[in-house]
A and B are shown apart, each in its own frame.
Chain A
Amino acid sequence: MAAGSRGAGDRRGPERVLALCVLAFPAGFRAEHGTELLRDYAELRREPGGAARAWWRVLADLGRSAPRERVAELRVRRAARARSDRFPPPYREAVLAALAVWVLYCLTLAPSIGFWDSGEYVTVAHTLGIPHPPGNPLFVLLAHAWESLLAGTGLPAALRINLLSASASALAHGFWFLVADRLLAGAGADRWTRRLGAACAVALSATAYSVWSQSNVNEKVYTLSLLSTAALVWLALRWRDTGRGTAPLVLGAFVLALTSTNHLMGLLAAPALLAFVLLVEPRALRRPRFWAAAVPLAALALSVQLFLPLRAAQRPVIGEGDPRCDSAFSAVASVATWGHAGCTRLSAVLRREQYPKPALSLDPTVYPDARLPRGPGLVASQLVNYAQYFDWQWARSVAGERPVFGGARPLFTLVVLVLGLLGALTGRRRDAAATVLMGLLFLTLSLGLVFYLNFKYGWALERLRFPDPSMHEVRERDYFFLIGFSLWGVWAGLGLAELWRRAGARLERGLGRGLASARVRAWSRVTPVRAGRLLAAPLLGLALVPLALNWSWASRAGDWTARDWAYNVLMSVDPYGVLVTNGDNDSFPLWYAQNVEGIRTDVSIVLMPYLQTAWYAREVRDLSRPCPPGVDPERTPNRVVCQRPFHPERMPQPLARTDGGTPPPEDSILPLGDADIDRIAGSAFVTREALSFSAGRLRGTIAAGTTIEPSDTFVAVILRSTLGRRSIHFMTPAPVVDRLGLQAYTVRQGLTWKLSDGPIPSTPGDRVVALPAGPLAAAFGAYVDVTRGDTLADEVWLRRGRVADPRAPWVDAANGSIPLNYAYALWALAQAHAQLGENDTARAYAARAASWARLGGMGAEGASGS
């Protein structure tokens, strides 16, 4: 008789407690011995020695025996499942596959940050900050914990976090191995075909260009989404094979909710998974037990989003969007409604309001200036853009410098396309549900994404027809599609396995046993592989083509470019200087250098696009305000406290000679109250007539019809408040300098323009040289500080690793402005030395400039500086 069979009215208090305690035993055990347990525990309680001693005996026995019985029951259930499992998973081989992928990624791992978002993500992981909307809280928490766990290895922070990307992607490929093996099993393949086919699938997927290049540096958070997607597909297949119980569905719901707190990309697996569940077991989602468990667990998963307002309240040094909330209730409402209600600031982050996106029916290339419909020409171009990225995946180094279907690369693409189609269609009759799962998943992650993302023209596409850069994406966007490319690699592996099987069968039939090599036949009697399949085995080598042809472009080994760029830029700025930057590549590496490596934390970085927002203006103000007595911002380096000090002892020796002893500033660079900041952040205007602008001794003219954005107004305030008290530098190009009419006051100092605090006198022997007007004058600056520039270029700048290797390609043409910035700085020095009559030095600088210019994609004429 099972426990609990007596009426509740008969039970006294202690017996009710005993009845609850007995629930710790598994159901089967209770059914067998429940009544005896209750009775004997009651007898134990009645034994002499006192109630406390009796209860101790009861609880001690429960604590020892109940967990053991639970474990025993789990083992029995697992053994029963294993006996009934028609497709036992090859876990050992999957672990080996994942390990092999991990080793590959480690061999090609970036030693530090990359460009674009890499510096931002590594910095927020290190400082527990908040990256750009939607905030990616799961990534931040995971990466921070991961970095902390690996702290004892002595590896640099950035490398540890890069290892997270590599490990997530490797683990994903362990799951893909299991998925591929299972799909081949469903198609009726034998063991060898399944294992080798799965290995091919993993090889092709892991070495697909975008997958590989996102896995060996933490530039985005999509490798975590790749991991969740692969894991969910595997979970779905196992759910089908192991009784279609409720627990795997609940786990799937939890993982889907959790991955959404990393990035919505992971949620894109939901439609395919839903379709699979409905095909296999339509009633599964009607089980009350499923909803009773899935809803609270999903809510628990989504609660990770609450990290954003909690951390924002502590004012982390990177706290984008400042998603602070006035109350816990408003924060929860915001999370529960995904930003459609509740806390305004958190909602703005969750819905990415900082990045206004046009409706899917509108043309993004002219939005928001015009609202034109998204025409078929643009749609076609978006599809071509996707095809262009697909073409990159399998042989990127073939005509690599030609980003649009260059050279013989499309031939390789065609082979993988055919293999993928073969893989997708193989087994469709035997396993229609799995075919639907994989097919719908791929369609969502390819065409679905193309439709949803509604990109402008691709960075490298349609440049002749639409030369205006604002009509194009600011960079190549292949990374958005990496999960789909990974999936195609899996399919191609399955197709390769099928091709091998068919080729082997044809060889065996066509050649006849008599023609097959006697030695091969003798060996094939020992192994299970038939002679024909053995002869056809070299076909499997196709799986290694992307490994060979993508390596030179995907590898980030020895790539210090972004980190050294940050160092070189920051060293170009005077102590306590202000540095106005333009975007990701001239800002995020600097954030990393300051907040992770502690390099030049005294510099106030002002990122123009973010200066459109009130939250960022407040951060700029507060990070640069003088410290109250007794307050040391370096005691809490991950939070906004006050101006961080300049450390002359940490400067490289050539600069320490000139920069030592600079006193800290006495005011913030943006001395405005919150109300003024809010007012400016909400106002942009167009000048109806020419306006004079003055700051200190600077005089400029703002042309009529100039659009003055909030960021321009904030910069103007910074100039007026700070000129003469701190040096002000700009990254080039500096449109705000042009808009304010201050071009004539720019002095090139290394990689930056320093704004003079007045007209620049021309003094004999002075080594601040005026540069002549010319086609590249806008990039060189009006003057160049030769002494400072020489010191920086010859004694301070770092150029090491991959970027110093003339054979290594500059793989991302979209950030070709980085090497061009070096080229402009060196050309300016060459020009200045030439004007000073120092021709040998001028030629040396010109040669260095030319090597950078070639990296930046300039042709021979441009590279010569002419």
Chain B
Amino acid sequence: MTGKRPEEFLPLSSQELQILLSLADQERHGYGIMQEVETRTGGATRLGPGTLYGAIKRMRGPGLIEEAGEREERDERRRYYRLSPLGRAVVAAEAGRLARVVEDARLKNVLPQPGTA
């Protein structure tokens, strides 16, 4: 842990945000992260392995992501990753930041209010 505040990591890139969101509900291996992100975003965000592991490497350094050990899956040992407490705080901060942006857009009538057409 670096002792840094979550706000110091903002703003996150879209790839970093998606990876952290993917790990928010459970530990996953690399390919699992790629699949989950693609499914959740309806194909809008498709991470390649090089991009994924580069981002994982950059987020492991400051401690946003931790390795969760290796597990056997379909006769192969895969390395799993999980969100660290700092990582959880960072993704929450980023989500909060984006929520405030959405709220401002609604106030400005750029986006419709929830429940309206």
Contacts and interface: CB of A to CB of B under 8 A. Distances in A.
Interface residues of B, number: 17
A68 B54 CA distance: 9
Contact of A60 (B29, B30, B34, B48): B48
B97 interface: no
A32 interface: yes
A229 B106 CA distance: 67
Given A39-B76, A40-B30, A40-B34, A32 B57 contact: yes
Contacts of B53: 29, 32-33, 36-37
A539 B56 CA distance: 60
12 contacts: A25-B50, A33-B56, A36-B29, A37-B50, A40-B30, A40-B31, A40-B49, A40-B52, A41-B49, A62-B48, A65-B51, A72-B54
B79 interface: yes
A66 interface: yes
A44 B50 CA distance: 12
Interface string B32-51: 00100000000000101111
A62 B54 CA distance: 11
Contacts of A69: 50, 54
A390 B50 CA distance: 62
| Most chain A beta carbons < 10 A, residue from B30, B31, B54 | B54
Interface string B50-75: 11111011000000000000000000
Interface in A62-85: 62, 64-66, 68-69, 72
Nearest to A58: B48
A62 B50 contact: yes
A131 B83 CA distance: 70
| Most chain A beta carbons < 10 A, residue from B31, B50, B54, B76 | B50
Interface of A: 25, 29, 32-33, 36-37, 39-41, 43-44, 57-58, 60-62, 64-66, 68-69, 72
Nearest to B51: A65
A68 to B, nearest CB: 6
A64 B51 contact: yes
A10 to B, nearest CB: 13
A249 to B, nearest CB: 32
Given A25-B50, A29-B57, A37-B53, 15 more contacts: A29-B53, A33-B56, A37-B49, A37-B50, A39-B76, A39-B78, A40-B30, A40-B52, A57-B46, A57-B48, A61-B49, A61-B51, A62-B50, A65-B54, A66-B50
A41 B31 CA distance: 9
Given A29-B57, A65-B54, A43 B31 contact: yes
| Most chain B beta carbons < 10 A, residue from A36, A43, A58 | A36
B50 A36 contact: no
Nearest to A38: B49
B62 to A, nearest CB: 14
A29 B61 CA distance: 13
B54 A36 contact: no
Nearest to A40: B49
B49 A36 contact: yes
Interface in B7-40: 29-31, 34
A33 B31 contact: no
Contacts of B29: 36
Interface string B78-106: 11000000000000000000000000000
A25 B49 CA distance: 12
A65 B50 contact: yes
A29 B57 CA distance: 9
Contacts of A61: 48-51
Name the 3 nearest CB pairs between A and B, nearest first. Answer: A61-B48, A65-B50, A40-B49
Contacts of B57: 29, 32-33
B76 to A, nearest CB: 7
Contacts of B34: 40
Contacts of B48: 44, 57-58, 60-62, 64-65
B31 A64 contact: no
B10 to A, nearest CB: 21
A644 B57 CA distance: 70
Contacts of B49: 36-37, 40-41, 44, 61
A633 to B, nearest CB: 59
Nearest to A61: B48
A863 B66 CA distance: 94
Contact of B30 (A36, A58, A62, A65): A36
Contacts of B31: 39-40, 43
Contacts of A36: 29-30, 49, 53, 78-79
| Most chain B beta carbons < 10 A, residue from A29, A33, A64 | A33
Nearest to A24: B50
A73 B30 CA distance: 22
Nearest to A29: B57
Nearest to A21: B50
B76 A64 contact: no
Nearest to A41: B49
Contacts of A43: 31
B99 to A, nearest CB: 29
B46 to A, nearest CB: 8
Contacts of A68: 54
A39 B52 CA distance: 13
A62 to B, nearest CB: 6
A25 B54 CA distance: 10
A68 B52 CA distance: 12
B73 to A, nearest CB: 11
A64 to B, nearest CB: 6
A39 B46 CA distance: 17
A62 B30 CA distance: 16
A65 B48 CA distance: 9
A42 to B, nearest CB: 10
B67 to A, nearest CB: 11
Contacts of A72: 54
A398 B50 CA distance: 70
A422 to B, nearest CB: 51
A25 to B, nearest CB: 7
Contacts of A44: 48-49
B100 to A, nearest CB: 30
Contacts of A33: 30, 53, 56-57
Nearest to A62: B50
A39 B50 CA distance: 12
A68 B51 CA distance: 9
Nearest to A43: B31
A271 B43 CA distance: 64
Contacts of B52: 40
A63 to B, nearest CB: 9
B101 to A, nearest CB: 27
B111 to A, nearest CB: 31
Nearest to A63: B50
A460 to B, nearest CB: 69
A60 B48 CA distance: 8
A44 B46 CA distance: 11
A29 B52 CA distance: 12
A75 to B, nearest CB: 12
A847 B44 CA distance: 91
Nearest to B35: A43
